[in-house]
Amino acid sequence: MTKPNIIDAGDVLVLGAGLAGIFTALKLAPKRVTVLAGASCAKENGSSGWAQGGLAAALGPDDSPALHLSDTLAAGAGLVDEGVARIIAEEAPDRVRDLVAFGVPFDRDDDGNIVLGREAAHSKNRIVHVSGDRAGAVIMDTLWHAVRAEERINVLSGLRAVSLVKRNGRVCGVYAVDDTADDLTPVLILAGDVVLATGGIGTLFDVTTNPAASKGDGLAMAARAGAKLADTAFVQFHPTAINVGRDPAPLATEALRGEGAVLINGDGERFMRDAHKDAELAPRDIVAREIKKQISIGNKVFLDCTSAVGAAFPDRFPTVFKSCMSAGIDPRVEPIPVAPAAHYHMGGVVTDHDGQTSLDGLWACGEVACTGAHGANRLASNSLVEAMVFGARISARILSKPARKQIVSGVGIGPCDERLLMPNTEEGERLVTKIRHIMTRRVGLVRTEESLISALEEFDRLRAEDDLPLDVFNMITVAEIVAIDALLRRESRGGHFRADLPSTDEDYAHRAEFTYGDLTERIAAQVGLERKAG
Ligand code: SIN
């Protein structure tokens, strides 16, 4: 084992440079913060910059946090933690004001009021946008500008965290590697507190709207460190990714359906009208499964925006317009081919109301966290706002604690697990593709006991291979955590649909919490499946 280099990250190490990560870092003033931004360009690593939808906040005269709360509860299909959803609904307007103070130019009407748009399952217009569909990109640009102006925030690029480290049982940093190198020599990065803001797991599936870095690294690290996890079965598939064979798949924002765009099959039929009273604005899981049904009987599916948006496309939805035009589709005059794509993970690392995880010294916010806000199905445009509400709460709690005396040495810290130090290879790429296929076919939009067990058997076979590259090792860990939770949840609810158990069962109307270590025992006790621990 090579002796690691040691980096002093200051008071707080933030893992991840999406909205959750950099907003938390900005709110932590005057603490000295290091943001670990991942392998390449910090700005391109997170999903936040790709968000088209905007942020949900009860800002309209006819709206209230109570209505926002009730829509969030309804979307979450019985699993939303009401206290958490209330916090978000009540604090969302202040977080939008924070962004205004940072200089985010939200779309406004002629009187200077922020324009509020509508999305599925919101009872009021409450989505704030920037330049139509550019909210994520503009918010991230604005906040990066603020980060660059802050001397106390150090952004570290080129390193990828692979393992949380503890001293005396308390999380105090990470091992990180340069995963583009041939030799993954670990670097030890130490800090007073660690904030996990590493995003989601979309890249575990064949088709995703998430950036390639969304491989569940943070979830895998927290799981191995023994953190409490919850509801990992719940993956939200966005119904309308643009289906032009790109990976990741560009998104056709739900706001288009909010504007009246309709879904049609190759025969021009509006199939959603027969499927749900809200037609195209039904909950995402329902729309996504109806599209999948069409595709599985050989139909193509299109989002027809020609009447609802037409000539206004370039101004109203510049991002979608650009994605379509670059694929040779003019959405002003022709329908956009669409397919469902893995979009958001509702489950993750359990936190309390202040973003504290079950591990001392470790906090979590953004998609990697499971605050309880989204339950079984996230309400559109609630994720950026959740990331900021919890980023602000984590910062407030850290700032209220006495400063921790930092020990910048490796004393008392074990070595990095050698299994995390295997470089990625071409063969590794092949295995990654295989895992993504398995997840899509057997742990995707529609699951059964049989499909989930066979996925787990495949993961066991893969795991048995020697010297698995880092990506494969991590992805199997996360894939297994999702598949086992899905197997244990013997019902259908929100983003989790079991074709063999299509009804919702009141016995499961609660959050499923567990540690990685618990899973093998639970699966043996509840489903009778004996497994070896991973
Ligand atoms: C969208 O613009 O459709 C995505 C918004 C979200 O997932 O919250």
Same domain, 15 and 117: yes
Residues 520 and 390 in one domain: no
Identify the band that residue 2 occupies on the pLDDT scale cut at 50, 70 and 90.
low
Three-state secondary structure call for residue 287: helix
Do 151 and 18 fall into the same domain?
yes
Inform me whether the pLDDT recorded for 44 exceeds 70: no
Q: What separation in angstroms does the CA of 451 have from each of 441, 442, 446, 448? A: 8, 5, 9, 5
Residue 532 lies in a domain: no
The arithmetic mean of pLDDT across residues 251-280, rounded, is: 95
Q: Does residue 57 fall inside a structural domain?
A: yes
CATH number of the CATH domain containing 438: 1.20.58.100
* 262-265 and 193-196 strand pairing: unpaired
Whether 295 and 363 share a structural domain: no
Domain membership flag for residue 413: no
Mean pLDDT of all residues in 67-88: 97
* Total domains, the chain: 3
- Is 177 near ligand 1, meaning CB less than 6 Å away? no
Residue 72 has a pLDDT of 97
Helices within 297-350 (DSSP H only): 313-316, 318-326
Does 346 sit in the ligand 1 pocket, CB within 6 Å?
no
Which candidate, 346, 343, 392, 396, places its Cα nearest to that of 372? 346
Nearest Cα residue to atom 5 of ligand 1: 53
Domain annotation covers residue 207:
yes
Which of these three, 341, 366, 388, is where a domain ends? 341
For ligand 1, the distance from its centroid to the CA atom of residue 501, given in whole angstroms, is: 28
Give the confidence band of 39 by pLDDT, cuts at 50, 70, 90.
low
Average pLDDT in the chain: 94
Closest Cα to atom 4, ligand 1: which residue? 53
Please calculate the CA angle 162-181-362 and round it to the nearest 5 degrees.
15
Regarding the beta carbon of 254 and ligand 1, being less than 6 Å apart is answered yes
- The rounded distance, in Å, linking the Cα atoms of 130 and 128 is 7
Asked whether residue 345 carries a pLDDT value surpassing 70, the answer given is: yes
- Judge whether 172 and 189 are in contact, CB under 8 Å: no
CA angle centred on 195, ends 194 and 199, rounded to 5°: 140
What is the Cα–Cα distance from 179 to 127, expressed in whole angstroms?
A: 38
Residue with tokens 């895998």: 220
Same-domain status, 201 and 55: yes
Active site residue 284: yes
380: Cβ below 6 Å to ligand 1?
Answer: yes
Asked whether 52 lines ligand 1 (CB < 6 A), one says yes
The predicted structure's pLDDT at residue 482: 98
Both 323 and 361 in one domain: the answer is: no
Please give the distance, rounded to the nearest whole angstrom, from the Cα atom of residue 350 to the centre of ligand 1.
23
Predicted confidence (pLDDT) per residue in 93-146, tens digit: 999 999 999 999 999 999 999 999 988 789 999 999 999 999 999 999 999 999
The pLDDT of residue 532 is 63
- Choose one of 341, 370, 389: the last residue of a domain: 341
- Position 226 in a domain: yes
User: Does residue 408 lie in a domain region?
Assistant: no
pLDDT at 222 over 70: yes
Last residue of a domain, one of 294, 317, 341: 341
Which of 114-123, 182-191, 270-279, 398-407 shows the lowest per-residue confidence on average (mean pLDDT)?
A: 398-407
Residue 69 lies in a domain: yes
Q: Which residue has the tokens 């407030």?
A: 396
Residue 62 and residue 171 in one domain: yes
Do 309 and 359 reside in the same domain of the chain? no
Residue of higher predicted confidence among 409 and 130: 130
Per-residue pLDDT for 530 more than 80? no
At residue 24 the predicted structure's pLDDT band, cuts being 50, 70 and 90, is: very high
One domain, residues 144 and 94: yes
Domain CATH number, residue 250: 3.90.700.10
**Quick one: pLDDT band at residue 387, thresholds 50, 70, 90?**
very high
> Which CATH number is 142's domain given?
3.50.50.60
Please give the average per-residue pLDDT across 290-302, as a whole number: 97
Using CB atoms within 10 Å of the CB of residue 376, give its burial: 0 to 12 exposed, 13 to 18 middle, 19+ buried: buried
200-209, 233-242, 409-418, range with the lowest pLDDT: 409-418
Determine if ligand 1 sits within 6 Å of the CB of residue 341.
no
Of 95, 126, 224, 284, which residue is the catalytic one? 284
- Domain span at residue 332? 239-341
- Asked whether residue 409 is domain-assigned, the answer is no
392 and 503 part of one domain:
no
Reduced DSSP (H G I as helix, E B as strand, rest coil) percent helix, strand, coil of the chain, to 5: 35, 20, 45
**217, 250: one domain:** no
Counting residues of the chain whose pLDDT is more than 90, the rounded percentage is 86
Of 319, 381, 384, 385, the residue with max ligand 1 atoms within 8 A of its CB, to mutate for a pocket test, comes to 381
292, 352: one domain: no
Residue 355: which of 322, 296, 400 has the closest Cα? 400
Q: How confident is the model at residue 529 (pLDDT cuts 50, 70, 90)?
A: confident
The pLDDT of 295-324, averaged and rounded, is 97
Q: Which of 139, 214, 238 to mutate to test the pocket of ligand 1 (most atoms within 8 A of CB)?
A: 238
Residue nearest to atom 8 of ligand 1 (CA): 381
